[in-house]
Amino acid sequence: MGKTLFEKIWDQHVVKQIEGGPSVVYIDKHFIHEVTSPQAFSGIEKRGAKLFRPQQVVATADHNVPTLHQELPIKDALSKFQVDTLIDNCKKHGVELYGLGHQYQGIVHVIGPELGITQPGMTIVCGDSHTSTHGAFGSIAFGIGTSEVEMVFASQCIMQTKPKVMRINIDGALKNGVVSKDIILYIIAQISASGATGYFVEYAGSAIRALSMEARMTICNMSIEMGARGGMIAPDQTTFDYIKGRLFAPKGADWDAKLAVWKQLYTDADATFDLEINIKAEDIDPMITYGTNPGMGLSVRGTLPTTESFKDATEKQNYEKALQYMGLKAGQSLLGMPVQHVFIGSCTNSRIEDFRLVASIIKGKQKDPSIKTLVVPGSQEVAKQIKAEGLDKIFADAGVEIRQAGCSACLGMNEDKIPAGEYCVSTSNRNFEGRQGAGARTLLASPLTAAAALLTGKITDIRDIL
Amino acid sequence: MQSLQKLTSRFVPLRIENVDTDQIIPARFLKATTKIGFGKNLFRDWRYENDDETKPKADFVLNQPQYGGEILVAAKNFGCGSSREHAAWSIQDYGFKVVVSSFFADIFKNNALNNGVLPVTVSDAFLQEIFAVGADDTLTVDLEAQTITINTTGSSEKFEINSYKKTCLLNGYDDIDYLLNMKAEIEAFEQSKK
Ligand code: SF4
């Protein structure tokens, strides 16, 4: 019987299968950042061990950095100490660091692909749940905890129980105004925030094939938001074209050899999945979330569920709790609701293509005066590209400032936060209570829908603008 | 890592579904570079009014004196969201040794096990039985037998854990000890892929 894409890569990386336990899986690339690595470095030191393969580790500072004046020392003492600790640890243990001020610095899931570090067939981990982003290249990539970061430091391996495999097929053509962020928000709304727990997901179908690498990354990025261990897409010509010529991409004869191997990375026709889901691309509208987990999403033209539609008492109670936090009413529509903030950024939507999309909408227009913005490129490279393409002019003319690379308002850890009680249309990936700051109300949406809110000051169907 | 064999304790009922790790420990508390002291910020924004430790929210279970013990019982899909191990550290630092739910998010489950906190998955029906008993009632979690029992009603259920993880937890070993002993095998594996 044939193998799935996941099984092909997994099988190539199993060093050992422990009786009645997990597999020991070899890790090709390990990304680290300032927040989830310090305790792993000190753990390794306490054991008197060394990093086993420091050349396979790449570090950046992204979560806890300011997005203005990065040339100045970080003001918050704890944040500064955390970033400095990363610098010390990388120096001491021989790890390559693209830290603040480095031309390759940026959100870890943006820089890996853009530098050509992320490649098909690899196993990739990082102490961050959105590591699933790298699966867009046909790799097995997933987030790990700090003990596991220490595990990979010590042995370049990780203990993992083999997950089940699920395939989600999205076929057909997307409607006008619908982009990859809408696809993934739609899928999560369909199967819920825990619907893929225990699974590794492969996204397939003609609608996925038609997407650019940036758009594929947005989809794989949010796999974790339905509980999946990770998400992946089989590599194809789009993938190879994206990688070719990037800084760490294979060159010359090495490229030819790698390419031949990568072309074998697909799910065999007779392979089977534990679960398969089929979705029609034309069923998907521009999406927006209304609640406090990414599964609570609907078409921008839809209405919130009624309380009566929840049969289970705990579910109903949870729905009411979410509505109360969000300041919304069951059965209402979101269309036309005023919002105060727009955040364009995060590892979900801060790549050059996202900025091109937004620029195409706001070009020659002015932002609504009531809207405060946080517009944050995913990396220094993206920022450079924005300038090279003149997009910075379009944003400036619209009254929108572009900040410096980092996670920014995605997680309410650094200086960029949304005040309590205020609404933010956000291109990031989580709308949990307090995620963007204590009391902040997050509405997840695509860069297009965010651009529409930017211009109108309200929740708007982008198709009314296009 | 501490070992865990058998535990009888009162429990704290957290009747909330989809408890994500941003709730367990908000991001602003992730600036530490050590593993200690996270317990005081566990469920921070549910525990205090306006982030003010002098203003505990009376309706939150951790602030209700009738509840206590080393077992946290939560509604389904506990620990979803971010991979931050700080969530497991804060639960452990607060004093919980076992978390019971009808469903756990994957990364949280691993993180808990790696810190000697046992996640016990029970059926929805059994979870409701636990929620139905009083604040003075106790639960017994027996890792060797893989059972969880409500002591007042005598109702009991078996739970799953793989035998490797069980041995680790019973003895207080961790995965890194195991992997450090596998160096030669890992090097041989690397050679075979060249
Ligand atoms: S942008 Fe947000 S989700 Fe992505 S790595 Fe940073 S904090 Fe995590």
Q: Is A61 in the pocket of ligand 1 (CB under 6 A)?
A: no
Selection from A122, A142, A200 nearest residue A166 by Cα: A200
Of B32, B82, B106, the CB nearest to A229: B106
Alpha helices by DSSP H, listed for A244-351, are 252-262, 313-326
> Which helix or strand (DSSP H or E) is residue B187 part of?
helix B183-193
A262-313 confidence digits (pLDDT tens) = 999 999 999 999 999 999 999 999 999 999 999 999 999 999 999 999 988 8
Are B85 and A42 a contacting pair at CB < 8 A?
no
Write the residue in B31, B182, B189 that is nearest to A79 by C-beta: B31
Does position B40 have pLDDT exceeding 90, yes or no?
Answer: yes
Q: What is the pTM of this model?
A: 0.94
Please check whether residue A412 touches B, CB under 8 A.
Answer: yes
Query: Looking at the complex, does the CB of residue B107 fall below 8 Å from at least one CB of chain A?
Result: yes
Query: A368: which 2 tokens?
Result: 């609504």
The nearest CA of chain B is from the CA of A407 a distance in Å of 12
- pLDDT(B2) > 80: no
**Angle subtended at Cα A216 by Cα A238 and Cα B27, rounded to the nearest 5 degrees:** 145
Q: CA angle at residue A59 from A98 to A241, to 5 degrees?
A: 75
Encode pLDDT of A190-218 as tens digits. Answer: 999 999 999 999 999 999 999 999 999 99
A4-37 burial: b if 16+ Cβ within 10 Å, else e:
bbbbbbbeebebbebeebbbbbbbbbbbbbbbbb
Task: Return the DSSP state at B117.
Answer: P
CB of A132 shorter than 6 A to ligand 1: no
Put simply, the answer to whether A432 touches B22 (Cβ < 8 Å) is yes
CA distance A40 to B106: 20
Q: Which two tokens stand for residue A127?
A: 């102490």
Identify the closest residue of chain B to A84 by CA–CA distance: B33
Please give the residue of chain B at the shortest CA–CA distance from A161: B162
- As to burial, measured by CB atoms within 10 angstroms (0-12 exposed, 13-18 middle, 19+ buried), residue A396 is exposed
Out of B22, B103, B165, whose CB is closest to A435?
B22
Q: What is the pLDDT of residue A315?
A: 86
Q: Which residues in chain A are contacts of B93 at CB distance < 8 A?
A: none
| pLDDT bucket at A353, cuts 50 / 70 / 90 | very high
Only one residue has tokens 């039985």, namely: B129
Substitution target in A14, A53, A148 with the highest count of B β-carbons within 10 Å is: A148
Kindly state whether B31 is in contact with chain A, defined as any CB-CB distance less than 8 angstroms: yes
Backbone angle region of A129, left / alpha / beta, with phi > 0 → left and psi within -120 to 50 → alpha: alpha
How far is C-alpha A33 from the chain's CA centre? 15
Tell me which amino acid residue A57 is. V
Query: Could you tell me the pLDDT band of residue A160, with boundaries at 50, 70 and 90?
Result: very high
Question: Given the CA of residue A378, which atom of ligand 1 is nearest to it?
Answer: 1
Query: Number of H helices and number of E strands within chain A?
Result: 15, 18
Query: Residues A173-200: what's their mean pLDDT?
Result: 97
- The length of chain B in residues reads 194
What is the distance between the terminal CA atoms of chain A, rounded to a whole angstrom?
48
Evaluate: CB of A347 within 6 angstroms of ligand 1. Answer: yes
- Express each pLDDT in B70-102 by its tens digit: 999 999 999 998 889 999 999 999 999 999 999
Q: Is A167 a residue whose pLDDT tops 90?
A: yes
For the segment A166-187, the average pLDDT, to the nearest whole number, is 98
Q: What is the model's pLDDT at position B173?
A: 85
C-alpha–C-alpha distance, residues A369 and A362, integer Å: 14
| A193 Cβ contact list (under 8 Å, min separation 6) | A225, A226, A227, A293, A294, A295, A296, B18, B77, B80
Lowest-confidence region among A109-113, B26-30, B123-127, B128-132: B26-30
Locate A459 and state its tokens. 């929740």
The rounded distance, in Å, linking the Cα atoms of B21 and B27 is 9
Gap from A27 CA to chain B (nearest CA, Å):
11
d(CA A270, CA A280): 23
Confidence (pLDDT) at A166: 98
pLDDT for the residue A217: 98
Q: Tokens for A239, please give them.
A: 């993938």
Ligand 1 nearest-atom number relative to CA A350: 1
pLDDT higher than 90, residue A314 = no
pLDDT tier at A413 (50, 70, 90 boundaries)? Answer: confident
On the question of pLDDT at B1 being above 80, the answer is: no
Mean pLDDT, range A1-30, rounded to an integer: 96
B 1-30 → A contacts, CB under 8 A: 15-18, 20, 22-23, 26-28, 30
Rounded CA-CA distance B71/B67 in Å is 10
With a pLDDT cut of 90, the percent of chain A lying above it is 96
- Which of A15, A144, A193 is the closest to B83 by Cβ? A144
Beta-bridge partner residues of A14: A25
Do the chains contact at A129 and B165, CB–CB below 8 Å?
Answer: no
* Residue to test with chain B: of A155, A325, A416, most B Cβ within 10 A: A155
A252 in contact with chain B, both atoms CB, cutoff 8 A: no
Tell me how far apart the alpha carbons of residues A237 and A229 are, in angstroms, rounded to a whole number: 26
Inter-chain residue contact A433 with B76, CB threshold 8 Å: no
Q: Does B75 touch chain A (CB under 8 A)?
A: yes
How remote is the C-alpha of B94 from its chain's centroid?
Answer: 11
Among A419-428, A447-456, B168-177, which is the least confidently predicted range? B168-177
Report the half-sphere exposure of B124 (CA within 13 A, side-chain side). 7
| pLDDT for the residue numbered B138 | 97
Contact of B73 with chain A, judged by CB distance below 8 Å, is answered with no
Distance between CA atoms of B53 and B124, rounded to whole angstroms?
34
Contact B185 A16 (CB under 8 A): yes
Q: Does B47 touch chain A (CB under 8 A)?
A: no
Distance CA A312, CA A22 (A): 35
Determine contact: B179 vs chain A, CB below 8 A. yes
Q: Ligand 1, atom 2: nearest CA belongs to which residue?
A: A410
Nearest CA in chain A to B190: A26
Chain A residues lying within 8 Å of B34, measured CB to CB: 38-39, 42
Chain A stretch 126-145, residues whose beta carbon is closer than 8 A to a beta carbon of chain B: 127-129, 143-145
Alpha-carbon distance of A130 to A410, in angstroms, equals 12
Per DSSP, the residues of A361-405 read HHTT----TT-EEEE--SBHHHHHHHHHTTHHHHHHHTT--B--S
Predicted confidence (pLDDT) at residue B172 exceeds the cutoff of 90 = no
Q: Look at the block and give the residue holding tokens 């982030």.
A: B51
ipTM of the complex: 0.91
Compare CB distances from A24 to B32, B80, B182 and report the shortest one's residue: B182
Residue pair A14/A24 in contact by the 8 Å Cβ criterion? yes
| Exposure string over A74-84, b if 16+ CB within 10 A, otherwise e | bebeebebbbb
Q: Is A344 helix (H, G, I), strand (E, B) or coil?
A: strand
What is the DSSP secondary-structure string of A398-413? TT--B--SS-GGGSSS
The percentage of chain A sitting over the pLDDT mark of 70, rounded to a whole number, equals 100
- Under the banding of pLDDT at 50, 70 and 90, the label for residue A1 is confident
**A403 and chain B in contact, CB less than 8 A:** no
Q: What is the mean pLDDT of chain B?
A: 94
Does residue A194 sit in helix, strand or coil?
Answer: coil
pLDDT digits (tens, 9 = 90+) for B137-148: 999 999 999 999
Q: Which chain B residues are within 8 Å of A92, Cβ to Cβ?
A: none
**Structure-token pair, residue B152:** 């007042």
d(CA A315, CA A296): 12
Can you tell me which residue has the tokens 């294979």? A250
Q: Using CA atoms, how far apart are residues A95 and A91, in angstroms rounded to an integer?
A: 6
The pLDDT confidence band at residue B43, using thresholds 50, 70 and 90, is very high
Q: Ligand 1 test: best mutation among A32, A111, A347, most atoms within 8 Å of CB?
A: A347
With 80 as the cut, is the pLDDT of residue B170 above it? yes
| A330 CA from centroid of ligand 1 (Å) | 30
Ligand 1 atom 1: residue of nearest CA: A346
Chain segment A78-134, per-residue pLDDT in tens: 999 999 999 999 999 999 999 999 999 999 999 999 999 999 999 999 999 999 999
At residue B120, does pLDDT exceed 90?
yes
